[in-house]
Structure 1
Amino acid sequence: MLRLLWKMYWKITGWHFRGTFPREYKKMVMIVAPHTSWKDILVGFSSRAMLGINDAKFLGKKELFDGPFGWLFKALGGVPVDRFSSQGMVEQVVNMINAHESFLLGMSPEGTRKRVDKLRTGFYHIARNANIPILMVGLDFGKKEMVFGEPFFASTDEEADIKKIISFFAEFEGSNPEGDLRHLKQTIE
């Protein structure tokens, strides 16, 4: 029933896909941007329903899963992480990924809905340490497009990889355009 509602939301709001979701990978870090509004979450969950992806995960602080809505976060694919663990967050997540046959992890490279002047790199280190590809997924609210980039593995040149990522995401208009990543294009030119 919930899947049907998500599909209805996708169709009613007029979103569409550009590119192809790479089903050949059982494990990936999917970085989705720009993340500027709660509306991004609705687009994300509805796209999962449209693509038939049942096992996509997202990270949340473990305190969210202890509260009254913990069951909901888990049902939606949430995975709790302990921000205060002696084992760093990257190591925790890599261990989770390695313990599963399939693990599709969605993350925001900004780490917040606010305007940022640089990307966070936890996603990058997770993908590199787990030896899994990164899939860039752009949300363009101006065109109502979800755009899939080509999956790639983190190289030994983090700076070049981050420039490639910024170049991809700098093309998309966020739900709140003042918070999207288009202003970062000047940092890589």
Structure 2
Amino acid sequence: MDKRVVVYKVMRTVLAPLFYVLFQPKIIGAGNIPKNGAAVIAGNHKHALDPILVDISTRRTVRTLAKKDLHDSAFGWFFRSSGTIPVDLHAKHNPEALRAAKEALRDGELVNVSPEAKRNYTDELLLPFKYGAAVMAEDTGAPLVPYAIAGKYKPFGGLTIIFGKPFKATGDAEKTNRKLYNSIAALLKRVMPKEELESKKITSFEEWSSRNEKTS
């Protein structure tokens, strides 16, 4: 067995029980994650612990795209040994990260991506999506599994993750990204506490695209 997989499984065995006891997360639709074969798992990003919540939702090994700063930090050994794929958030393009992610998918692995690219501290339901997840699915034929995380990382409950039905890329990265955005938004609306949802701005994919065109 790959050394990286062994380290990942050991870490998850140690962290999962602690995570469950502390946060008691509600996990919905985990059966939508394929039991074998490649898939791009993509969802919103609200907290640094999001990848662990995704990891404990499946028994399979998950390759998560993580910011390069973490790989270069004092705890870089932890991220490198658990198989995360470094992404430079300061760069306009990340060809090496995209290449590594597509290689993992072609090897039949699960790759976890946050299309928002950063944590959402705003009052928007979702930030505008980058195209990495859509391009990975388009180029490899791997299905996309949308997910949404709602609630708070507080002790003893209130945290939920929901996984939607897998879907195939459309053959057009723009359309695939729009479908992914709308799927995650719909999942968030299902599980986000009512008072929190009512405080959010719900910006459509088309509105974000229009804003980006005006500022580019």
User: What is the TM-score when the length of structure 2 is the normalising length?
Assistant: 0.65
Q: For 1:5 and 1:166, locate their aligned partners in 2 and report how far apart those are by CA, in whole Å.
A: 26
1:96 matched residue in structure 2: 103
Deviations 1:106-130 (A, max 9, x none): 1111111133642222111111111
2:33 matched residue in structure 1: 22
Give the alignment's Cα RMSD to 1 decimal. Answer: 3.5
Q: For 1:130 and 1:151, locate their aligned partners in 2 and report how far apart those are by CA, in whole Å.
A: 15
* CA 11–121 in structure 1, closer or farther in 2 if over 3 Å, else same: same
2:65 matched residue in structure 1: 59
Q: For 2:101 and 2:51, locate their aligned partners in 1 and report how far apart those are by CA, in whole Å.
A: 23
1:8 matched residue in structure 2: 18
* CA 94–67 in structure 1, closer or farther in 2 if over 3 Å, else same: closer
How far does residue 162 in structure 1 lie from its aligned partner after superposition?
Answer: 4.3
Q: For 1:93 and 1:6, locate their aligned partners in 2 and report how far apart those are by CA, in whole Å.
A: 26
Choose between structure 1 and 2: higher helix proportion. Answer: 2
Q: For 2:22 and 2:205, locate their aligned partners in 1 and report how far apart those are by CA, in whole Å.
A: 37
Answering whether residue 47 of structure 2 is matched by residue 37 of structure 1, we say yes
How far does residue 73 in structure 1 lie from its aligned partner after superposition?
Answer: 0.6
User: What is the TM-score when the length of structure 1 is the normalising length?
Assistant: 0.72
* CA 50–21 in structure 1, closer or farther in 2 if over 3 Å, else same: same
Answering whether residue 148 of structure 2 is matched by residue 133 of structure 1, we say no
Deviations 1:69-102 (A, max 9, x none): 3221122331235787x9835752354235x533
Aligned positions, number: 179
Match of 1:184 among 202, 211, 214: 202
Is the Cα–Cα contact under 8 Å of residues 60 and 79 in structure 1 kept in the other structure? yes
Is the Cα–Cα contact under 8 Å of residues 134 and 151 in structure 1 kept in the other structure? yes
Answering whether residue 85 of structure 2 is matched by residue 79 of structure 1, we say yes
Is the Cα–Cα contact under 8 Å of residues 81 and 92 in structure 1 kept in the other structure? no
1:168 matched residue in structure 2: 186
How far does residue 65 in structure 1 lie from its aligned partner after superposition?
Answer: 3.2
How far does residue 186 in structure 1 lie from its aligned partner after superposition?
Answer: 5.3
Q: For 1:8 and 1:152, locate their aligned partners in 2 and report how far apart those are by CA, in whole Å.
A: 32
1:156 matched residue in structure 2: 171
Is the Cα–Cα contact under 8 Å of residues 164 and 183 in structure 2 kept in the other structure? no
Q: For 1:30 and 1:47, locate their aligned partners in 2 and report how far apart those are by CA, in whole Å.
A: 9
How far does residue 30 in structure 1 lie from its aligned partner after superposition?
Answer: 0.6
* CA 64–118 in structure 1, closer or farther in 2 if over 3 Å, else same: closer
Q: For 1:104 and 1:72, locate their aligned partners in 2 and report how far apart those are by CA, in whole Å.
A: 19
Q: Describe the SS at the equivalent of 2:169.
A: coil
Q: For 1:4 and 1:90, locate their aligned partners in 2 and report how far apart those are by CA, in whole Å.
A: 28
Structure 1: state its 5+ residue gaps.
none
Is the Cα–Cα contact under 8 Å of residues 124 and 154 in structure 1 kept in the other structure? yes
* Matching residue's letter, 1:97: A
